[in-house]
């Protein structure tokens, strides 16, 4: 009998919130996690995860219950646009609500207050480069090679989250209106690039170094995994080993459709001090130099040795702008190594600095059987469209390359063809958001 009374007592206590319901303050601290997504315009705060003390009763549409205001340097920014709010069983976004303690508040990444980083422009002073004049003579000319450096806001950025109405928990308790202020720090931030670990390779002199990031599949098993090498453009030059992960979706593009290994290297200067024309070397800029190609291949080969579960028949290259140029160099140096490539907004093959006109049927012949998809906007003023056209024409018209594709965009304004940035050069905005293109790449296998 005593046992029966005890059980009845517990039953009454557990359901006492349902009798004469009175809203109450939150009894336990609500943990707040910021969820960030890498977009075509950088890494943005796309959602918040609020962890309550118990499961939440109503969970599929709570968007009217919250107000979110970001503050930068103590000054309020415009309220975030809430797209939807729902319950989940973990601090992450979901296609549908699930039983759990977490309220997920999804917000519009186009909001001005969505940024995680301030972008500082460096290296904006003109530099001298070699190019051809109209008569074909090699001359020196001044050009800017500005670098966009991301600086984490950290304690400068905080969020005020307000629960504007009542919230019923599954245990019967009604939570009263509440608000919280939370600063964005590394330990309460979850991003889609957290899985990329740092690494570096050197050749000879310890200063002759290439930094990189490596994504390893979350649950390795006996299967074989693809490897994607992503090469950044001129705007992400640096020593931070992070700018190239944040400026576009390049590093995570293939991961949207299949988990695999990804290598994302970053070089630290426009000119290569270990392979420089004034010192008697062939030289070049960005990914053009033989020295940087050797560093890239060492990075790739070391990774293959360390992870034998990588499928040697599924090694891919994706490159944007100067990275497309670098990707083409790698294909030409190891034509039997790669399974396929996506090359966006690049230049004519074998360009050195700005000296073009070097691609021929003979020197492009080694890659005629590699699946390559070129992309370019005809209005591109950063890297003229003629480079991709020449590569494509030689490969398809003169070499009858059976697996080479070319897509040319007409771009008048921001948003055309899915190019999110207001720059026709950024064809990768469309490519890295294209299931058509990325699945095509992942279907390619090296010919034996």
pLDDT in tens, 177-220: 999 999 999 999 999 999 999 999 999 999 999 999 999 998 88
Say how many domains are in the chain. 3
**Neighbouring C-beta atoms of residue 336, cutoff 10 Å:** 11
Q: On the CB side of 375, how many CA atoms lie within 13 Å of its CA? A: 25
pLDDT in tens, 282-334: 999 999 999 999 999 999 999 999 999 999 999 999 999 999 999 999 999 99
Res. 67: pLDDT tops 90:
yes
What band does 26 get if pLDDT is binned at 50, 70 and 90? confident
Of 59, 56, 81, give the one whose Cα is nearest residue 68.
Answer: 81
Beta strands in 133-273 (DSSP E): 138-143, 147-152, 157-163, 167-168, 174-175, 178-183, 189-191, 196-203, 205-215, 225-231, 261-266
Q: Of 139, 169, 189, at which residue does a domain stop?
A: 189
* pLDDT value for 245: 97
Based on the fold, state whether residues 170 and 262 are members of the same structural domain.
Answer: no
Beta strands in 7-41 (DSSP E): 31-39
Based on the fold, state whether residues 349 and 209 are members of the same structural domain.
Answer: yes
Based on the fold, state whether residues 326 and 239 are members of the same structural domain.
Answer: yes
* pLDDT value for 208: 97
Strand partners, 315: 227
Based on the fold, state whether residues 105 and 231 are members of the same structural domain.
Answer: no
**Dihedral, 372, 378, 381, 384 alpha carbons, nearest 10:** 50
Alpha carbon separation from 258 to 192, 218, 253 (Å, rounded): 14, 12, 9
Angle between helices 290-306 and 322-333 (to 10 degrees): 70
Based on the fold, state whether residues 62 and 161 are members of the same structural domain.
Answer: yes
> Is residue 3, in this structure, part of any structural domain at all?
no
Based on the fold, state whether residues 204 and 184 are members of the same structural domain.
Answer: no
> Is residue 389, in this structure, part of any structural domain at all?
yes
> Is residue 5, in this structure, part of any structural domain at all?
no
pLDDT in tens, 342-362: 999 999 999 999 999 999 999
Based on the fold, state whether residues 33 and 178 are members of the same structural domain.
Answer: yes
Average pLDDT estimate for 36-40: 97
> Is residue 2, in this structure, part of any structural domain at all?
no
Q: Of 189, 205, 240, at which residue does a domain stop?
A: 189
Alpha carbon separation from 396 to 264, 284, 367, 426 (Å, rounded): 30, 27, 11, 25
Average pLDDT estimate for 232-243: 96
Based on the fold, state whether residues 103 and 171 are members of the same structural domain.
Answer: yes
Give the CATH number, domain containing residue 360: 3.40.50.1820
> Is residue 223, in this structure, part of any structural domain at all?
yes
What band does 6 get if pLDDT is binned at 50, 70 and 90? very low
Mean pLDDT of the chain: 94
Average pLDDT estimate for 229-245: 97
Based on the fold, state whether residues 204 and 259 are members of the same structural domain.
Answer: yes
pLDDT in tens, 69-110: 999 999 999 999 999 999 999 999 999 999 999 999 999 999
What band does 18 get if pLDDT is binned at 50, 70 and 90? low
> Is residue 9, in this structure, part of any structural domain at all?
no
> Is residue 7, in this structure, part of any structural domain at all?
no
Based on the fold, state whether residues 75 and 135 are members of the same structural domain.
Answer: no
Give the CATH number, domain containing residue 59: 2.60.40.2180
Based on the fold, state whether residues 42 and 144 are members of the same structural domain.
Answer: no
Res. 4: pLDDT tops 80:
no
Based on the fold, state whether residues 304 and 401 are members of the same structural domain.
Answer: yes
Q: Which domain holds residue 164?
A: 15-116+154-189
Of residues 253 and 218, more confidently modeled: 253
Q: Of 134, 167, 189, at which residue does a domain stop?
A: 189
> Is residue 257, in this structure, part of any structural domain at all?
yes
């Amino acid at each position: 009998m005593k046992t029966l009374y005890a059980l009845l007592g517990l039953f009454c206590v557990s359901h006492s919130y349902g009798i004469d319901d009175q809203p109450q303050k939150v009894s336990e601290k609500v943990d707040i996690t910021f969820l960030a997504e890498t977009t075509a315009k950088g890494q943005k705060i796309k959602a918040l995860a609020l962890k309550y003390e118990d499961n939440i009763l109503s969970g599929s549409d709570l968007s009217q219950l919250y107000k979110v205001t970001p503050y930068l340097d103590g000054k309020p920014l415009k309220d975030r646009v809430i797209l939807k709010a729902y319950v989940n069983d973990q601090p992450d976004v979901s296609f549908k609500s699930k039983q759990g303690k977490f309220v997920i508040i999804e917000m519009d990444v186009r909001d001005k207050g969505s940024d995680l980083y301030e972008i500082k422009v460096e290296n904006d002073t003109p530099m001298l480069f070699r190019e051809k004049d109209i008569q074909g003579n090699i001359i020196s000319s001044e050009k800017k090679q500005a670098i966009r450096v991301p600086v984490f806001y950290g304690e400068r950025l905080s969020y005020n989250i307000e629960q504007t109405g009542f919230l019923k928990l599954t245990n019967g308790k009604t939570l009263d209106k509440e608000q919280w202020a939370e600063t964005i720090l590394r330990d309460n931030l979850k991003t889609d690039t957290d899985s990329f670990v740092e690494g570096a390779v050197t050749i000879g002199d310890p200063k002759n170094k290439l930094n990189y990031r490596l994504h390893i599949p979350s649950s390795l098993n006996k299967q074989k995994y693809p490897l994607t090498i992503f090469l950044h453009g001129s705007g992400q030059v640096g020593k931070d080993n992070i700018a190239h992960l944040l400026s576009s979706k390049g590093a995570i593009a293939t991961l949207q459709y299949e988990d695999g290994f990804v290598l994302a290297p970053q070089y630290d200067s426009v000119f290569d001090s270990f392979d420089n024309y004034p010192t008697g070397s062939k030289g070049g800029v960005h990914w053009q130099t033989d020295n940087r190609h050797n560093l890239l291949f060492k990075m790739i080969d070391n990774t293959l040795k360390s992870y034998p579960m990588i499928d040697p028949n599924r090694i891919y290259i994706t490159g944007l702008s100067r990275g497309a140029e670098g990707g083409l160099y790698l294909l030409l140096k190891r034509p039997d190594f790669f399974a396929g490539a996506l090359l966006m907004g690049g230049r004519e093959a074998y360009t050195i600095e700005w000296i073009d006109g070097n691609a021929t049927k003979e020197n492009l012949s080694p890659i005629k059987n590699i699946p390559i998809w070129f992309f370019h906007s005809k209005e591109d003023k950063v890297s003229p469209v003629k480079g991709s056209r020449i590569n494509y024409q030689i490969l398809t018209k003169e070499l009858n390359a059976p697996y080479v594709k070319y897509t040319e965009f007409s771009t008048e304004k921001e948003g055309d063809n899915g190019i999110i940035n207001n720059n026709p050069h950024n064809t990768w905005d469309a490519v890295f958001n294209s299931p058509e293109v990325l699945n095509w790449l992942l279907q390619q296998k090296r010919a034996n």
